[in-house]
C-alpha cells in the first residue's frame, strides 16, 4: 500500500561523546523515508528544503523508490538547521542552534498523485501543519500515525490536542506521555491519551524499549542492548519509519501485526544509533535486518509452559 | 533442592507519595524468604534480629516452611532499622535513618542441619559477611547468587571484589553495574563484571525490567506496566527470592531455565510493589502468580516467522 510521509528534511550538526559532525542530512522525514523504504517501494514524501539542500540526497531517496514530487525546493531560501550536543548518558541533549528557515512558513502541498495513499505518517512538525495535511487528503487514510514532541505541548497545546484527536496512532516518549496526560504512571497516562482520540499509543523509552497500548492490551518491545550508542539522533523517527513501513507493506492494522511492526521499528532504530545521522541507514542490507529481528526474538523468548 | 538464604531481617519505616508507615517488617532476607517460599518448602534462613523483633513474623516464616534455626535473636539488643522517603518518580529515595544495631557485629553461624544446601542466596550485606558464609559451608553449593549495592563499592571495594569472585550469579542495578565496571554501556559493563568471576550477571532496571548476561548470550525480561507503584522497597530482594526459589525448585541451572526464573522473579516483584513492605507477599495466591506469568508472556509475545 502506498505511504505518505510528511515531516522535516533538513541539516543537523551533532556532537556526541564520540565526535562531532559538520552539517549532515537530518530531519524526521529523512529518517522515516529511509527506514520505510526497506519495506515499501510506494513511499511518497511531502516536505520543504532550501536551495542549499544537496541534490545527491534527493537522488538517493529516489533510488530507494521514494517519490519526491511533493518535496518543495525553495529558491533563495535555506533549509531547516538544528544543532545539538549529547551528554554522556545519551538520553539528554542541549540544543545549540535552531534555524527554522523554510519550515517557518511551510505549506504542505499534496500532489494529486499522492491522493491514493492508504497510510499516512506525520513526522514531528507544528501540529497545525500536520492537521492541514489530514484536511487536504480527499479520502481519509486507513491509518494515520503521528509523532510529536514536548515543544508543541509548551507552545501549541490547543492545536496539538486537536490534531491528536484526528489520528489513529500517537508516538511519543515517556516524559512527553507524562506531560501530555498529567499522570506519572504510564498505564494511567496511556488511558488518558487514548481518551483524547488515538486508539493506539506507542510510548518510546529509548534504550528501555517501547510500549504499545490499545484499550486494555499492552505490548512491550525491548531495545537491543548495544555495545555503543554512537548517535541517538533520528532513532525515534527511524523507529516510526520502520513501524509504518512494515504496516504499509503487510496492509494489516491488527494489534498483533502492530506488535511485529514495533519489532521492525525497534530493529531499524538499533541500526540508526550505530553511526552519525543517517549514515547507517543508507547502506542497510536485508540480511542485516533479518539477523537483527532474530536477535530481538532471542532476547525476549522464554519457554515457560502456560499455566 | 534446599536453599540457604542469608541477609538482613529488620524494621523499615517508609514514606512514599501514597503514604507513610511506622516500623514494619523489612530486610533483604525477609523479602527473599517470602518470595522463595512460593517455590520451595526447603528454604533455610541465616540472619540476626534483636529482642524487639516480633515473634509473629518468625512464626509466619515457619508457617511458610522456612527453617529459622539459623535466625539468631540477640537478647538486650535491637534489630537493624532503616527509614527512607521516596521521591515522586519512585526510582530515587533519601535515606532518613540507618541504625545497624545487631547487624554491626553479625557473625553468620550456619547450623549443622543447613550444610546440605545446594543453593545459596546471599542477600545484600557486608561483603565480608557474605564471604564468611561461603567459607563456612563444608561443600560448595551448586549455585551461589549474590546481591549487593553501591554502598559497598564505596566503602569496601576490595572485600566486594573478593566476594564477587566467589559467586556464580551477581545481581545489581544498572547504576551499580556502571559504577562497578567503569563502563557506561551495559553490554561492556556486563563483559567486565563477568571477567571478575560471576558467569552470570543480572542487571536490574526497576520499572524498565532486567537483563541476564552469560558470555555472549543476553535475555531481557520487562517489568509489568502497573497502574501504580505503591512502594518499591524490597522489589529487588523479592525478584532475587523468586529467581533462586524457582531455580531451587526446578534444580536446573541452564541459561534457558534461568530465563524462566527471571520471569518468576519479575512476577514476584510486580506484586511486592503493590502494597507497603511485605504486605502483598504474605497472602499471595498461586492462581494470582500464574495469572501474572501469563501477563508477562502476553506482554512480550510476537509471532514474526523466523527469517
Q: Could you tell me what percent of chain B has a pLDDT over 70?
A: 99
Which chain B residue is nearest to residue A219, measuring alpha carbons?
B299
Q: How far apart are CA B129 and CA B102, in angstroms?
A: 13
CB A242 within 8 A of CB A270: no
- Residue A166: Cβ-neighbour burial (10 angstroms; 0-12, 13-18, 19+): middle
| Residue A298: CB atoms within 10 Å | 12
**Å between B256 CA and nearest CA of chain A:** 7
- Which residue from A208, A290, A300 is facing B208, i.e. has the nearest CB? A208
CB A49 within 8 A of CB A253: no
Domain B3-300, CATH: 3.40.1190.20
Q: Given pLDDT bands bounded at 50, 70 and 90, which one contains residue B89?
A: confident
Q: Can you tell me which residue has the cell 553461624?
A: B109
Q: How far apart are CA B55 and CA B102, in angstroms?
A: 17
Binary contact (A225, B218; C-beta < 8 A):
yes
CB A221 within 8 A of CB A266: yes
Chain A residues whose beta carbon lies within 8 Å of the beta carbon of residue B294: 306-307
Q: How far apart are CA A6 and CA A29, in angstroms?
A: 6
Is pLDDT at B307 greater than 90 in this prediction? no
In sequence order, the β-bridge partners of residue B3 are B43, B119
Nearest Cα neighbor of A153 from A98, A208, A196 is A196
3-state secondary structure at position B194:
helix
Mean per-residue pLDDT of chain B: 96
Judged by a CB distance cut-off of 8 A, whether residue A187 touches chain B is yes
Tens digits of residue pLDDT in A104-156: 999 999 999 999 999 999 999 999 999 999 999 999 999 999 999 999 999 99
CB B26 within 8 A of CB B276: no
Binary contact (B208, A209; C-beta < 8 A):
yes
In sequence order, the β-bridge partners of residue A26 are A10
Which chain A residue is nearest to residue B190, measuring alpha carbons?
A227
Beta strands in chain B (DSSP E): 3-6, 10-16, 19-20, 24-26, 43-50, 67-74, 81-86, 93-99, 119-122, 143-147, 169-173, 200-204, 210-214, 217-221
Is pLDDT at B281 greater than 90 in this prediction? yes
B45: Cβ contacts below 8 Å, ≥ 6 apart: B5, B6, B9, B29, B33, B61, B66, B67, B68, B70, B71
**Å between A110 CA and nearest CA of chain B:** 35
Tens digits of residue pLDDT in B170-191: 999 999 999 999 999 999 999 9
Q: How far apart are CA A67 and CA A60, in angstroms?
A: 11
For the CA atoms of A268, A274, A278, A284, what is the dihedral angle to 10 degrees? -60
| Prediction pTM value | 0.94
Beta strands in chain A (DSSP E): 3-6, 10-16, 19-20, 24-26, 43-50, 67-74, 81-86, 93-99, 119-122, 143-147, 169-173, 200-204, 210-214, 217-221
Q: Can you tell me which residue has the cell 542485516?
A: A288
Q: Which of B182, B246, B304, B306 to mutate to test the interface with A (most CBs of A within 10 A)?
A: B304
Q: Where are the domains of chain B?
A: 3-300
Lowest mean pLDDT among B37-41, B56-60, B120-124, B302-306: B302-306
Q: Could you tell me what percent of chain B has a pLDDT over 90?
A: 93
Binary contact (B220, A304; C-beta < 8 A):
no
Judged by a CB distance cut-off of 8 A, whether residue A254 touches chain B is no
Binary contact (B294, A300; C-beta < 8 A):
no
Chain A residues whose beta carbon lies within 8 Å of the beta carbon of residue B16: none
Phi and psi at A99, nearest 5°, equal: -115, 105
Binary contact (A226, B299; C-beta < 8 A):
no
Judged by a CB distance cut-off of 8 A, whether residue B225 touches chain A is yes
Nearest Cα neighbor of A7 from A73, A119, A88, A106 is A106
**Å between B27 CA and nearest CA of chain A:** 27
Tens digits of residue pLDDT in A172-191: 999 999 999 999 999 999 99
CA A304 to chain centre: 35
pLDDT, average across residues B243-262 = 97
Binary contact (A185, B302; C-beta < 8 A):
no
pLDDT, average across residues B284-299 = 95
In sequence order, the β-bridge partners of residue B164 are none
Q: Given pLDDT bands bounded at 50, 70 and 90, which one contains residue A306?
A: low
Judged by a CB distance cut-off of 8 A, whether residue B76 touches chain A is no
Binary contact (B294, A303; C-beta < 8 A):
no
Q: How far apart are CA B15 and CA A74, in angstroms?
A: 59
Q: Compute the 3-state secondary structure of chain A and give helix, strand, coil in percent, each to the nearest 5.
A: 40, 25, 35
Judged by a CB distance cut-off of 8 A, whether residue A109 touches chain B is no
Is pLDDT at B306 greater than 60 in this prediction? no
CB A73 within 8 A of CB A53: yes
Give the pairing of strands B143-147 and B169-173: parallel
Binary contact (A227, B185; C-beta < 8 A):
yes
Which chain A residue is nearest to residue B17, measuring alpha carbons?
A184
Q: What is the pLDDT of residue B88?
A: 81
pLDDT, average across residues A5-30 = 96
Angle between helices B286-300 and B255-272 (to 10 degrees): 110
Which chain B residue is nearest to residue A206, measuring alpha carbons?
B208
Chain B residues whose beta carbon lies within 8 Å of the beta carbon of residue A188: 227-228
Amino acid at each position: 500500500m502506498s505511504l505518505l510521509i510528511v515531516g522535516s528534511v533538513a541539516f543537523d550538526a551533532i556532537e556526541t561523546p564520540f565526535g562531532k559532525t559538520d552539517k549532515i542530512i537530518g530531519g524526521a522525514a529523512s529518517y522515516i523515508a529511509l527506514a520505510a523504504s526497506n519495506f515499501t517501494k510506494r513511499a511518497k514524501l511531502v516536505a520543504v528544503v532550501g536551495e542549499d539542500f544537496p541534490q545527491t540526497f534527493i537522488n538517493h531517496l529516489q533510488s530507494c523508490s521514494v517519490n519526491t514530487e511533493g518535496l518543495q525546493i525553495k529558491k533563495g531560501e535555506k533549509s531547516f538547521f538544528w544543532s545539538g550536543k549529547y551528554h554522556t548518558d545519551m538520553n539528554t541533549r542541549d540544543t545549540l542552534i535552531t534555524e527554522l528557515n523554510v519550515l517557518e512558513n511551510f505549506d504542505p502541498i499534496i500532489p494529486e498523485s499522492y491522493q491514493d495513499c492508504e497510510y499516512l505518517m506525520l513526522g514531528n512538525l507544528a501540529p497545525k501543519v500536520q492537521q492541514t495535511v489530514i484536511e487536504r487528503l480527499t479520502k481519509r487514510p486507513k491509518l494515520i500515525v503521528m509523532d510529536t514532541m514536548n515543544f508543541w505541548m509548551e507552545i501549541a497545546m490547543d492545536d496539538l490536542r486537536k490534531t491528536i484527536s484526528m489520528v489513529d496512532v500517537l508516538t511519543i516518549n515517556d516524559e512527553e506521555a507524562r506531560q501530555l496526560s498529567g499522570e506519572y504512571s504510564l498505564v494511567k497516562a496511556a488511558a488518558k491519551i487514548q481518551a483524547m482520540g488515538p486508539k493506539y499509543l506507542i510510548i518510546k523509552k529509548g534504550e528501555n524499549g517501547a510500549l504499545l497500548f490499545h484499550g486494555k492490551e499492552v505490548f512491550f518491545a525491548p531495545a537491543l542492548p548495544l555495545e555503543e550508542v554512537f548517535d541517538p539522533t533520528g532513532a525515534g523517527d527511524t523507529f516510526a519509519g520502520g513501524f509504518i513501513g512494515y504496516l504499509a507493506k503487510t496492509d494489516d492494522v491488527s494489534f498483533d501485526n502492530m506488535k511485529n511492526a514495533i519489532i521492525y521499528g525497534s530493529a531499524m532504530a538499533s541500526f540508526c544509533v550505530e553511526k552519525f545521522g543517517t549514515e547507517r541507514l543508507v547502506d542497510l542490507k536485508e540480511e542485516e535486518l533479518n539477523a537483527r529481528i532474530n536477535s530481538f526474538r532471542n532476547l525476549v523468548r522464554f519457554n515457560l509452559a502456560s499455566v
